[in-house]
Amino acid sequence: MAVPANITALNLNGKFQMNKSLSDSPDDMLSAQGVGWIKRKAMGAATITVTLTHSKDASGMENLSLVQVVSGGDPAEPEEKVFDWVERKKEIKLFGPCVTKSKRVSLDEVQEPFLKEGWSADTLEHGCILVHLANEGKNGWKTEQTWGIGEVNGERRHVRRICLTGSKGEKLHNRIVYDYREYSFIEP
C-alpha cells in the first residue's frame, strides 16, 4: 500500500512491511555479507516489518528510531539513527561487529548513481537519509544506503536503495520497497 500524503522524507513515522514482489531479491547481497544459505532461505520466506519513529531532539538534530521484526525470528533490537554522521559501533546478530553512521543529504551529494534513482518530489526537495554500514569482521563489506519516499509503479512508497561493496571490491545493488501498514500518531 502506498504511503499517505503526510508521510514524506521529513516525516517517516509509521509501520512498513517489505513488499517482496516490488523489492529486489536480497539473496546475493546477503551471501556477499557472509549470511549462510539456510539463513538466507529462512529470511526469504519471512515477513519483515519495520516501525519507524522520526523526530528531532531539543537541538533540532534529526533522529530515526527503528524496530525491525522478522516473522519467526528473534525479537528485534531497537536501533537509533542520529543524523550527525558520527560513527557508532554496533554488534548486529546477522553480521557481527559493524560501524554505522547516518545523515540527511541532498541527492547531489550522493556519488553512486543507483542510489539517486526513483525518488519522490519531496525526497528530491528535502534530501534523503544516507546510511553507511561497514562490517568490521572477517567479511569486510560496506554499504551505502539511501532511504526516503520513492516513486514505484506510480505510487509513493518507503524505499531503501543499497550499494554493497564486497571484500573483493565487487559491487551489488538492491532496492527494498515497503508497503505502508499503519499511521503512527507522532508528528515531526
Give the residue extent of every domain in the chain.
14-182
Report percent pLDDT > 90 for the chain. 83
pLDDT above 50 for 133: yes
Q: Which pLDDT band holds residue 33 (cuts at 50, 70, 90)? A: very high
CA–centroid distance for 147 within its chain: 6
pTM of the model: 0.93
State residue 52's pLDDT score: 96
CATH architecture for residues 14-182:
Beta Barrel (2.40)
Q: From CA 130, how far away is CA 171, in angstroms rounded?
A: 18
Contact by Cβ (8 Å): 167, 139: yes
- Looking at the predicted structure, is the pLDDT value of residue 135 above 70? yes
Where b means 16+ CB within 10 Å and e means fewer, 57-77 reads eeeeebebbbebbbeebeebe
How much is the mean pLDDT over the chain? 93
* Tens of pLDDT, residues 44-102: 899 999 999 999 999 999 999 999 988 876 667 789 999 999 999 999 888 999 999 99
